Structure 1
């Protein structure tokens, strides 16, 4: 293809198509990071012996278990992850929960529900049998009556889960 020539005030402008790269062979490799799995065998060998500071060693999200001191690696035992797996022999539940399971919506526990679930039965029995003291306090408190508020709440939660 012949370039077109334009002449203006004694200057000549030539317009043509170039098939060479305008960077004259230089490439910007900062846009193309070369991680551990990329590159030639020679590149990987050089990176293993003397890593280049501009080329990061990609860890794929794995946390280090030590640090590098000079040319040697110092392992810290506290940084090594310890996987604790419980023994599930005889476990009744299956490891999968279907998405078709209906949602269980429980309203928050009210004080009236807590009182009714834990104390009402014993108080009515004591009243009918005349086992209340002068201040309407039980003469022989049951284990339910001696519960702390937190223990009573846990007991009602377990009763609710048995019903559902």
Structure 2
């Protein structure tokens, strides 16, 4: 019975390169240009090809006189809290028990913010016949419009 030899092409592993392919003849460069192009740009930059590499501009160049106009609203602002004296650690274990808390209602807010002052004024007899305080606090002196405006101010949620 004759043996049928199946011939197939393969890369020789016994050669000097041991099967490694030679890719030196291919120019491999990243998406912003070849090494030669980058070298030329460092020596003699072409401003028309300038790339900001993902950084957004904080202004614009005026078409009239060519000067750069800065827009303060476009400057990023990092708001970082002061953590001096904070005893909390940056890690919370998965073993901590789940905290189940009911929904915070308007009644709860009233009981926390206004009820202690009303109770104190009632016990000390500092309420008039209609139940209004005789010595109102600054918050109690506000009109509804002033209170709404103060609540919508920036930082009103901070204590």
TM-score normalised to structure 1 length: 0.42
Q: Radius of gyration: which is bigger?
A: 1
**Structure with more strand by fraction:** 1
